[in-house]
């Protein structure tokens, strides 16, 4: 595990560095407080720190203060090292954000024990963060396909429309999905849903959004997609599904999707999100009626034509 030693006395710093290396730590060193805070705020920096109270540039408590003010970062467990031993100093150090406090010269056995305590606390924090992230993922993602769930993709769409810039809305439906379930069983149907979600996710950009809208339907939001590019983008997604058969359990199933698409631009400002989704749904219906495995643009259908 990485650990930072911030100590301006070169001899003391070297002695402590060797001791910590002998017990298995990867040691980072700093000779002043500014160097220490820079290393601790590094994304790859140590999460254990031994800070001397008195240092040039910034002292130990000041480093603690800056570290704790950097909200949203990984927690760093800090032990202050000082020759001060009054209760007032102890309180001042802890209130500045230190987790522990050792009076110099510190005994090696005691230092090891304090560092083990710090490691246990960091491991506990990692466990809690992982549990929180797992709960957040379950709350925002579809359990089967791992794309966003309906609520999350609709929230993404709502935020996208608030940007008042071009966006494409694609409502995608797997063709003949009921037949896949009826003929091959729901396990194969689930595998097809997962494969389709994976291919769609691989075909969109990082700034786009994809979610399971319901059943075998997926909603895709293409940020920054102009009306002129909407059909091209929809065709790319359609081909990502149709180009290769689904292979699994000894099968080679042809799988395709139908897409209803609608473009949002400055002239659409008077339309609600619900209205846009209804247009996409109507275009999807026309794509199904026209033979499936195709994309229909809602604006074109208003003129009676198919895209």
Give the residue numbers annotated as catalytic, written as ranges.
216
The tokens for 140 are 């925002």
The dihedral built from the CA positions of residue 222, 223, 228 and 232, taken in this order, carries a sign that is negative
What is the per-residue DSSP string for 196-265? HHHHHHHHS-TTSEEEEEETTEEEEEEET--HHHHHHHHHHHHHHHHTS-EEETTEEE---EEEEEEEE-
Cβ within 8 Å of residue 108, ≥6 positions away: 19
Alpha helices in 5-103 (DSSP H): 10-22, 33-40, 60-69, 87-95
Cα separation, 20 vs 307, in Å, equals 68
Return the number of other C-beta atoms located less than 10 Å from residue 307's C-beta.
19
Cβ within 8 Å of residue 230, ≥6 positions away: 168, 222, 261, 263, 297
């Amino acid at each position: 595990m990485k650990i930072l030693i911030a100590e301006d006395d070169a001899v003391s710093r070297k002695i402590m560095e060797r001791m910590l290396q002998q017990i298995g730590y990867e040691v980072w060193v700093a000779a002043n407080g500014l160097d220490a805070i820079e290393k601790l705020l590094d994304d790859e920096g140590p999460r254990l720190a031994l800070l001397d109270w008195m240092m040039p540039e910034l002292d130990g408590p000041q480093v603690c203060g800056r570290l704790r003010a950097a909200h949203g970062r990984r927690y760093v467990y800090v032990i202050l090292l000082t020759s001060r031993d009054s209760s007032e100093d102890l309180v001042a150090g802890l209130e500045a954000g230190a987790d522990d406090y050792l009076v110099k010269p510190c005994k090696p056995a005691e230092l090891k024990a304090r560092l083990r305590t710090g490691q246990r606390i960091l491991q506990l924090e990692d466990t809690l963060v992982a549990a929180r992230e797992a709960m957040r993922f379950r709350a925002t993602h579809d359990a089967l396909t791992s794309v966003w769930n309906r609520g999350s993709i609709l929230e993404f769409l709502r935020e996208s429309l608030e940007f008042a810039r071009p966006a494409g809305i694609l409502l995608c439906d797997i063709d003949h999905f009921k037949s896949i379930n009826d003929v091959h069983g729901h396990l194969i149907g689930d595998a097809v849903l997962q494969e389709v979600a994976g291919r769609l996710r691989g075909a969109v950009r990082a700034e786009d959004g994809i979610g399971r809208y319901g059943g075998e339907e997926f909603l895709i939001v293409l940020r920054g997609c102009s009306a002129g590019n909407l059909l091209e983008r929809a065709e790319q997604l359609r081909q990502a599904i149709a180009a290769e058969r689904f292979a699994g359990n000894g099968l080679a199933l042809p799988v395709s999707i139908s897409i209803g698409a609608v473009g949002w631009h400055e002239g659409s400002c008077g339309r609600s999100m619900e209205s846009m989704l209804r247009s996409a749904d109507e275009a999807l219906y026309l794509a199904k009626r026209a033979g499936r495995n195709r994309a229909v643009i809602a604006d074109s259908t208003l003129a009676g034509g198919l895209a």
